[in-house]
Amino acid sequence: MIIGMPKEIKNGEYRVAMIPSSVTAFIRSGHHVYVEKDAGARAGFSDREYEAAGAITCDSKTVYDKSDMIYKVKEVLPAEYNCYKEGQILFTYIHSASRPVMTKVLLESKIIGIAYEDVDDEEGRLPLLAPMSEIAGKGAFIAAFKYQQTLNGGKGRLLSRVCGLEVPRIMIIVCGHTGMAAAEYAAAFGNHVTMLDVNRKAMENAHKLSDNIEILYSNRENILSSLKQADVIINCIMWDQRYEGHIVYKEDLKLMKQDAIIIDVSSDEAGAIETCVITSQDNPVYKVDGILHYCVPNIPSLYANSASILLSARTLPYALKIANNGAEKALKEDKHLRRGLSFYCGLLTNKENAEANNLSYTSADELINSF
């Protein structure tokens, strides 16, 4: 099989799906690899390293035209809509439910789209999403640390326990991978951390993390009480756009300290945080009613080298399985990989997308078992 890795074109996205050692693994398995020139430059991987590993470096058109499988990081952007061909495999983060135009394009192109974010394991975890979630959570606390600095427009408050100073309070919404990572950093600096969730198991896991973390049920009373005290609010919940309402409403900002900061890791516009508007690394912050908002959706890209190494390590075994066996056999033999199937040759196999956009749905299990 021919595997291709184009350069990511989304603003501020510097990660790569394949590092040079990944190329070596494909070559040793008898495959061919095309890498777009400078694809890994911002992540610390040169064309020379990819070529030494056995890849052919070339322009973007050649990558798409030659490849049986496109192996990348981000969803398909408008400039890439015409790049795909029928039967081509796309292995990446797709997040299709919130992208109806992209969905239409990928259905019409009749590709086989497998989404990292939906691949699961025996315990129902999301192994291809988890490493990026951890980096995003830790990066979120670092962002809060940065924007509390006077130089960056903050009040100049050190987010750390310091003798003689009041201990800062960090509020974290949900106890998943991202929230746990943010809490780990925040607690390590001695801050008072409050985490809110409704998942009992997640709450119990978070409770074991540190003595300076309190765990509360996420209800309206606890949310408002925590908002009033918080110096930093870190939202880590990916919002289901089918739900009406929010966790933090615009009117709630009036209850907060005027120097408080909201870090919205999920960056779902008008999602869990009603006042969230997606920002970029070039222009990351804005204020609403005096409250600083940081809503950069791809925090892991700020740590592109570390993120690429982790992402490659997690996705490579699945990518090799697809390359070695072909998409159909790999999907039939691995039910966890099959969970990630979003598109198959003109059929929509992602139930959430079908429900969100009122589209026809085909069960991946039934489809694959028909082969």
Residue tagged active-site, from 31, 95, 177, 192? 95
* Residues 199/236, Cβ–Cβ less than 8 Å: no
CA distances to 76, 289, 332 from 107, in Å: 12, 42, 21
Rounded to 5°, angle at Cα 237 from 129 and 142: 75
Antiparallel, parallel or unpaired: β 347-348 and 69-71: unpaired
Residue type, 75: E
Residues with Cβ within 8 Å of residue 354, at least 6 apart in sequence? 348, 360, 361
In the block, which residue shows the tokens 């074991």? 208
Q: Could you say which of 68, 231, 264, 268 is catalytic? A: 268
Alpha-carbon Rg for the chain, nearest whole angstrom, is 22
Per the annotation, the verdict on 95 as an active-site residue is yes
Q: Which amino acid, one-letter code, is at 22?
A: S
Question: Rounded CA gap, 204 and 139, in Å?
Answer: 23
The yes-or-no answer on residue 177 being catalytic is: no
Question: Quick one: which of 175, 178, 128, 167 has its CA closest to 321?
Answer: 128
Judged by DSSP in three states, 263 sits in strand
Q: Which of 295, 292, 153, 152 is nearest to 235 (CA)?
A: 295
- Provide the token pair at 226: 């925590």
Rounded CA-CA distance 124/137 in Å is 20
- 208 by Cβ neighbours in 10 Å (0-12 / 13-18 / 19+) ranks as exposed
Amino acid at 119: V
**Could you list the active site residues?**
95, 268
